[in-house]
Amino acid sequence: MALHELRSITTFVQAAELGSLRRAAAAQGLSPQAASQALAQLEHHLGVRLFHRTTRSLALTREGQQFLETVQPALLALNHALQAAQRSREDIAGPLRIVGPHSSFRPILAPLLDEFCRRHPEVQPDVQLDDRIGNWVEERVDVGFRIGTATKEGVIARRLLPLQMIICAAPSYLAEHGTPDSLSALSSHRCSALRSATTGRILPWHVRIGEHIVDQPVVPAFCSNDEELELQATLAGQIIAQVSSISTAAYFRSGQLVPVLTEHTTHHASLWVYYGSRDAQPARARAFIDMAVAKLGDSGPYILSMAELEALAG
């Protein structure tokens, strides 16, 4: 059914209930001329007259009475459905589908979800962590997070915080192997590297040299496609690694990790939150996005200043 047909039927039903086409027009915010035209279009479409009309009276024809008895319950049910959909849009309840990267993201998402669910216990999160970038429309995603340098086409994106990449090791590693004093010195250390989940390639480190970000190839003594496994090996003193501040800031501040070569720390990528048009979002999605922006926007808990890094490096 076309939208103009629904409006014409609504005009007819209200005119019959109110006994006046002028009143029906006012109830819908239409001009009397628009209401009269809508009714005429409906009668033309049906091929019957629905009202006997004079300048002073409005009475249903036999066909109009039959049509009213048929459409009135259906129109009432449709209005109830529309009202229920509008209410559900404003209720902070129901399923909330969230996607994000598997790597590095859990330390941020877990406390965010915990606080959100405590505030809104009627929301049921459905979380998919995956390093691939799928089709968010087809997968009916409400809120997405990605790490990168550019936004994804077709959705709205907001930058949350920079992604620092810090070269580091555990105190026990540095006590046994010494502290590298230059990038070239890394060749004599047990370095770690990540393997791309999509291409299978060993990924270089990205380091800052002056004003530029360059690739720093490493010969890995430890290689994995999982950042959590790499982090645990680093904490155990097995390797020296380049890690994300998102998952490791607390370890630096507790002294379990020590930054090295701090002048080569980068923050060329960022964490972004993605979503569709806010006009069509349910309230639960809007509330979660607002919390993510408030809690994570350039958030101190996940970022170390250069002064702090240098102090921690000693």
240 shares a domain with 142: yes
**pTM for this prediction:** 0.67
182 shares a domain with 78: no
How many structural domains does the chain have? Answer: 2
Task: Write the pLDDT tens digit of every residue in 243-253.
Answer: 999 889 999 99
CATH code where residue 177 lies = 3.40.190.290
* Residue-level pLDDT at 133: 61
- Asked whether 265 and 208 are in contact (CB, 8 A), the reply is yes
Instruction: Give the side-chain half-sphere CA count within 13 A for 136.
Output: 23
Task: Write the pLDDT tens digit of every residue in 164-220.
Answer: 999 999 999 999 999 999 999 999 999 999 988 778 899 999 999 998 999 999 999
86 shares a domain with 141: no
Domain boundary among 56, 90, 124: 90
What tokens appear for 93 in the block? 């309840």
180 shares a domain with 245: yes
229 shares a domain with 189: yes
For residue 244, which of 133, 143, 147, 132 has the smallest C-alpha distance? 147
80 shares a domain with 119: no
Q: Is 257 helix (H, G, I), strand (E, B) or coil?
A: coil
* Residue-level pLDDT at 184: 94
The residue range of the domain holding 33 is 3-90
128 shares a domain with 44: no
222 shares a domain with 124: yes
187 shares a domain with 47: no
98 shares a domain with 84: no
More confident residue, 129 or 184: 184
Task: Write the pLDDT tens digit of every residue in 27-59.
Answer: 888 888 888 888 888 888 888 898 887 767 788
* Distance set, CA 212 to CA 60, 215, 293 (Å): 80, 10, 29
More confident residue, 258 or 155: 258
- Asked whether 160 and 272 are in contact (CB, 8 A), the reply is yes
Pairing of strands 156-169, 240-244: antiparallel
CATH code where residue 73 lies = 1.10.10.10
200 shares a domain with 58: no
Domain boundary among 49, 70, 90: 90
238 shares a domain with 148: yes
Domain boundary among 20, 55, 90: 90
* CA–CA dist 154, 11 (Å, integer): 38
